[in-house]
Amino acid sequence: MEVSRARDYVYSDSELDQSESKVIEELKAGAMEPLSDPDAWLDEELSQNILLTTADWLINWGRRSSLWPVICFPACCAFEFISVMGPRFDMSRFGMEILRASPRQADVLITAGTLTWKMAPNVRRIYNQMAEPKWVIAMGACGISGGIFRSSYNVVPGYNRIIPVDVYVPGCPPRPEALLHGIQMLQEKIAKRTNIIKE
Ligand code: SF4
């Protein structure tokens, strides 16, 4: 005797087509717009709460923004330096407000004047006593090359004969704007320093 089976799970071809079409139409109806990125909230969260940088950038930013010059005014360029410290040119805008009497608390030496050989050992001693890292700005023709006194027997023909110089600011004397430009050049140089040595 033949046993008949229930056939409720078997579809005809047309039923199968209709069933699939229904599923597809439902999917299409819900797919009119692209789905949003589920991690989109993360961009806003990161931009508000996380600052990405390098240790070098951070160290250099701190150093170039808080340069402390040591007092070293051997001659007449000093008057232009002094005016840079005044309210009109306002050197403190560049983080250099504090002139240090002690070289151990300073990291930049601005050579504001002619250097004689008699003074040279003292200036080199000041430089040697400054904290590392340290920088030198040669201010004025005398600081760069001895200037108009270059051929004199008692004048050092440039500070770079006794200490390393990072930035040269020409003029006799240089205008305050020129010294400020030299300070900014030094800050740009500091910004490129590598402090973290990779092995
Ligand atoms: S460069 Fe000119 S202003 Fe400066 S110390 Fe020499 S002579 Fe004086």
Instruction: List domains and CATH numbers for the chain.
Output: 70-191 (3.40.50.12280)
Q: Are 140 and 178 in contact (CB under 8 A)?
A: no
Q: Is residue 148 pLDDT above 60, yes or no?
A: yes
Element (H, E) at 5: none
Considering only CA atoms, which of 180, 171, 185 is closest in space to residue 85? 180
Residue 138 Cβ inside 6 Å of ligand 1? The answer reads no
pLDDT(18) > 90:
no
Q: How many helices (H) and strands (E) does the chain have?
A: 7, 4
State the distance from the centre of ligand 1 to the C-alpha of 111, rounded, in angstroms: 10
Mutate to test the pocket of ligand 1, among 84, 114, 159 (most ligand atoms within 8 A of CB): 114
Angle between helix 55-64 and helix 176-191 axes, rounded to 10 deg: 160
Which of 41-50, 62-71, 157-166, 170-179 has the weakest average pLDDT? 41-50
User: Higher-confidence residue: 180 or 53?
Assistant: 180
Residue nearest to atom 7 of ligand 1 (CA): 172
Residue 191 contacts residue 61 (beta carbons within 8 Å): yes
Q: What pTM value is reported for the model?
A: 0.73
CA distance 79 to 1: 124
Query: Tokens 């704007």, residue?
Result: 177
The region of weakest confidence among 24-28, 104-108, 118-122 is: 24-28
The b/e string for 167-185 (b: 16+ C-beta within 10 A; e otherwise) is bbbebebbebebbbebbee
pLDDT the model gives residue 41: 80
The pLDDT, as a whole number, for residue 80 is: 92
